[in-house]
Amino acid sequence: MRTQASAPVPGAAVFLARVRALGGRLALVTNRLAMECPDTSAVLRTHGLLFDTVLCRPEGAGSGSDKNPRFEAVATGQTDASRTLIEVIAFVGDNIHDFSAGSQALRAQGETAYTQFGVRYFIVPNSMYGSWQSRSPAVHYEGP
């Protein structure tokens, strides 16, 4: 059974509206399956969350959850939102894989590997699921 029930992270609507007001475009890259993309877009619209395109995980063999091909599609203008090159200035996510070429291997690279965090990469905790979820009595984080 498919549902369209989800709540945005607090502050998301204001942030997205500000990006748009400053002239930015918004490409949302998710690992939800392509068949879920229409429902995902509908939920975003219901909550007034602005976006130019939503790129879901392709279905089929070998598609995997690697977001890098979709990040590249945004940058090279290969989406329904743009057919021209786009300078991607920021990545916002709740998982290391939400950042271009991000992986847990970053840990082994030392402090200099983190120079883009807070400049180009911005981590947003997601209390709904994943390694940010609350584990009483304290919040648990398994990040880089």
Q: Is the residue at 133 inside a domain? A: yes
Q: Is the residue at 3 inside a domain? A: no
Check if the beta carbon of residue 29 is closer than 8 Å to that of residue 74: yes
Q: How many structural domains are present in the chain?
A: 1
Q: Is the residue at 58 inside a domain? A: yes
What's the CATH code of the domain at 46? 3.40.50
Q: Which residue has the tokens 């909550």?
A: 47
d(CA 68, CA 50): 22
Range of the domain at 24: 12-139
d(CA 37, CA 9): 19
pLDDT in tens, 44-55: 999 999 999 999
pLDDT at 124: 85
What does DSSP say about strands 53-57 and 27-33: parallel, antiparallel, or unpaired?
A: parallel
pLDDT score of 131 more than 70:
no
Summarize the confidence of residues 108-128 as an average pLDDT. Answer: 88
Q: Which of 62-66, 87-91, 120-124 has the lowest mean pLDDT?
A: 62-66
Q: Is the residue at 89 inside a domain? A: yes
Q: pTM above the 0.95 mark?
A: no
Q: Is the residue at 49 inside a domain? A: yes
Q: Is the residue at 126 inside a domain? A: yes
Contacts of 118 (CB under 8 A, 6+ apart): none
Q: Is the residue at 121 inside a domain? A: yes
